């Protein structure tokens, strides 16, 4: 009888220990955009669940600044967000580490019919000046809000690569949906854009042209990343490892099987309203930009921060090396 009671007590203790060791429910922040595609793939193909990240609480944000504020406030265990918000959050004291990259060189410059020919012929550095001379007005170029990576990449290209006269350009700052609408209606002459906006506009505006791709704007420009709380690294490194392994697998699928990946991604990007063939085309057009290795963007992140400081959009600097933890990726490979 005593032996039976002892065995029952051991079993109860074991169950209690197992319950205490159960994986926590991760709160994951994200934006419904293509640069966060790895999250959508990992959710839908089961790789996150297989790694122990079961039933995560997904928190959708409509802008990087809103997600940044959540990180600063101590919310979220992990997030898929642009490197710009990651830099700002870290500078404001958020205990976060970038453990994987999502995408690089994601930003391109799209010019509509009236502006595009000025890049097709003549010196590109004088394209905006020649446009202004012929049209009697400045070219109107849309970009993301100041401080965002797309805006920094656009300014880097204009100032350091093209060496254009900024006095020939009128800048407007909008969100992605507004930029796409402005391009579709011809309210602007061009914009710094991401996929799937690029593919969507080119389909409906056949005279539009991509006049500069990501590698031309800012080589190895960092885009969206996967970041986690340092507390999660300390308390549940196995879950961080699972996130990174899923990131690597999702990146491979995006590169190697865009048709399959599109079925997963379409449910999330743009609220699930975009045609799947458009999402697939956007993934194909971004194939060489999907990059999971965080080591690939460390140097460029430092360069980006330096340039944003010159622009006055990154007031507080961070130690970029301390922002990254590349050990999980190295272990996964």
32 exposure class (CB count in 10 Å sphere: 0-12, 13-18, 19+): middle
164 has pLDDT over 90: yes
Per-position DSSP letters for 158-176, written without gaps between them: IIIIS---GGGEEEEE--H
- Determine the pLDDT at residue 22: 65
Tens digits of residue pLDDT in 36-66: 999 999 999 999 999 999 999 999 998 888 9
Q: Is the separation of the CB atoms in 232 and 78 below 8 Å?
A: yes
Question: DSSP code of 104?
Answer: B
What local confidence, expressed as pLDDT, does residue 21 receive?
A: 53
Residue 18 pLDDT > 90: no
Q: How confident is the model at residue 69, as a pLDDT? A: 95
Three-state DSSP at 59 gives: strand
Fold matches, 27-104+222-332 and 107-216: yes
Q: How many CB atoms lie within 10 A of CB 75?
A: 15
Answer yes or no: are the C-beta atoms of 294 and 207 closer than 8 Å.
Answer: no
Tokens of 288: 């060489």
| Contact predicate 282/264, CB 8 Å | no
CATH topology of domain 107-216: D-Maltodextrin-Binding Protein; domain 2 (3.40.190)
pLDDT confidence of residue 4: 47
**pTM to 2 decimal places:** 0.89
Phi and psi torsions of 139, nearest 5°: -70, 135
Tell me the pLDDT band of 6, cut-offs 50, 70 and 90.
very low
**CATH number of the domain located at residue range(s) 27-104+222-332 in this protein:** 3.40.190.10
Question: What is the residue extent of each domain of the chain?
Answer: 27-104+222-332, 107-216
């Amino acid at each position: 009888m005593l032996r039976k009671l002892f065995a029952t007590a051991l079993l109860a203790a074991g169950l209690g220990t197992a319950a205490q060791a159960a994986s926590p429910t991760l709160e994951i922040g994200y934006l419904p955009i293509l640069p966060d595609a790895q999250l959508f793939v990992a959710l839908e193909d089961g790789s996150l669940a297989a790694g122990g990240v079961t039933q995560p609480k997904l928190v959708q944000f409509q802008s990087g600044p809103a997600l940044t504020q959540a990180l600063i406030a101590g919310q979220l265990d992990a997030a898929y967000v642009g490197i710009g918000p990651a830099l700002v959050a870290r500078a404001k004291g958020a205990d976060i580490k970038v453990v994987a990259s999502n995408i690089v060189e994601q930003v391109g410059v799209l010019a509509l019919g009236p502006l595009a020919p000025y890049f097709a012929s003549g010196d590109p550095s004088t394209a905006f000046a020649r446009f202004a001379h012929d049209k009697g007005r400045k070219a109107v170029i849309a970009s993301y809000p100041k401080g965002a990576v797309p805006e920094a990449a656009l300014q880097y290209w204009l100032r350091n690569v093209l060496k254009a006269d900024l006095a020939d350009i009128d800048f407007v700052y909008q969100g992605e949906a507004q930029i796409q609408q402005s391009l579709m209606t011809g309210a602007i002459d061009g914009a710094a854009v991401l996929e799937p906006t690029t593919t969507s506009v080119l389909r409906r505006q056949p005279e539009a042209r991509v006049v500069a791709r990501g590698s031309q704007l800012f080589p190895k420009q960092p885009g969206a990343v996967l970041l986690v709380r340092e507390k999660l690294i300390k308390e549940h490194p196995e879950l961080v490892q699972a996130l990174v392994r899923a990131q690597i697998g999702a990146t491979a699928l995006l590169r190697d099987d865009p048709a399959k990946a599109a079925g997963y991604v379409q449910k999330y990007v743009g609220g699930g309203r975009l045609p799947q063939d458009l999402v697939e085309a956007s993934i194909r057009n971004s194939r060489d930009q999907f990059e999971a290795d965080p080591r690939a963007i460390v140097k460029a992140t430092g360069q980006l921060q330096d340039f944003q400081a010159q622009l006055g959009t990154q007031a507080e600097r961070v130690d970029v090396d301390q922002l990254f933890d590349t050990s999980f990726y190295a272990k996964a490979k």
